[in-house]
Homo-oligomer: A and B are copies of this chain.
Amino acid sequence: MEKQDLIYQKLLELIKLDDLNNEHMYKNTPASSASIPVGISNRHVHLSQSDVSLLYGENYQLTPYKELAQPGQCACKETVILCGPKGALERVRVIGPARVQTQVEILSGDCFALGIKAPVRISGDISGSSGLTIIGPKGSIQLTEGVIVAQRHIHMHPEDAKRFSVENEQVVKIEVDGPRGGILNHVLIRVSENSALECHIDVEEANALGVQSSSSIKIIE
């Protein structure tokens, strides 16, 4: 493990899971055997370590701020400004730790504010996606691609996959109850040994279906 990863892990251990976070970001609830907890994501950014250096200064290390449900993932103290040809979005949260590839996940409605057209993609699939400018306190980055609207998906451990009778990369439908309830198609199953059971939808999807951080959803087919 590299020194920067060790520092990051140490900081993660020091975090208290308290009421620091009043944002709309990856909140979740325990699952019953049939229902799946929901993580609601707002726009956010994953940065490569070289881009962290460009935005925050040479060898700068991201500062974990709140642990997320996915093991090792964390909302960081750092935020950036996203700029497109029509406008800017301020205080966009950085998610740590640093990744191999910088990726910006925005809301569909942000495309209008920024003046760009980001495709609906699964995380990591950024080839030919949109670009924009990321601004930090010490510099900026001109991304030519890496901006997506995240495709809704369900993280799960292989044991969960067995329990729900689904497999990795299967596309399912999910059902949401309540006065704004409905069914969302094209939800990708992502199975990994390092994953906690959690359905990721974004703020617009959550608001449209009346989903809150305490809600859970069901796979229906």
Contacts and interface: CB of A to CB of B under 8 A. Distances in A.
Interface of A: 24, 107-109, 112, 120, 173, 179-186, 202-205, 207-210
Contact of A24 (B112, B205, B209): B112
Contacts of A186: 179-181
Contacts of A208: 108, 184, 202, 204-205, 207-209
Given A107-B207, A120-B180, A204-B204, 15 more contacts: A108-B208, A108-B210, A109-B203, A109-B204, A109-B207, A120-B210, A173-B182, A179-B186, A180-B185, A181-B185, A181-B186, A182-B182, A205-B208, A208-B208, A208-B209
Contacts of A204: 109, 204, 207-208
A183 B209 CA distance: 10
A109 B179 CA distance: 16
Contacts of A108: 207-208, 210
- 9 smallest beta-carbon distances between A and B, as pairs: A208-B208, A108-B207, A183-B183, A205-B208, A182-B184, A204-B207, A204-B204, A204-B208, A181-B185
